[in-house]
A and B are shown apart, each in its own frame.
Chain A
Amino acid sequence: DTGVSQDPRHKITKRGQNVTFRCDPISEHNRLYWYRQTLGQGPEFLTYFQNEAQLEKSRLLSDRFSAERPKGSFSTLEIQRTEQGDSAMYLCASSGLGGRGRYRAETQYFGPGTRLLVL
């Protein structure tokens, strides 16, 4: 357990439905990242936040995707009008500038992921 939690762990939905995932990062971490991992591939960067500001979005993040981190703590990733191609594992990671305890500085710690299946 890295200290990063994601909810739900699994989601099955029908094409066209909206889904929302939540990520709770390590509490003292100011950076939060979202990645998508499809079968047989490494994770691909989607977007990241520093505190509540969304600083970068990948071209993979179409207009149907939106991410928020309203108070600089937890984050949500919403997919509207889901498509079968959205089926993947969605990973969240957090990092902090200062290392503390078992957490190393500027190192991303990953949550367990949310596995999405769009039927």
Chain B
Amino acid sequence: QSALTQPASVSGSPGQSITISCTGTSSDVGGYHYVSWYQHHPGKAPKLMIYDVRMRPSGVSNRFSGSKSGNTASLTISGLQAEDEADYYCSSYTSSSTWVFGGGTKLTVL
């Protein structure tokens, strides 16, 4: 299974919105409604931000939202804050009943 494709980096200023894409195939992202997004501050445990494409776990800010179109899922962060600076990973269920992660995207808040 190949890793999902994410941009290596994105950046935005405080208060702005950014979107991180996650591209797979019809055998993973495009075929199922089971895409998750994780926020990872280096040296800390990753945190689940979105599951089932667009669902937010309790306690996650509504500034984080997820969507999907075809084989590409997206994570949008609105009202960027300094604390949002982190690495973000998508993950998808696959037709082999396994899971695959994206390569990760480094978000810089300017």
Genuine A/B complex = no
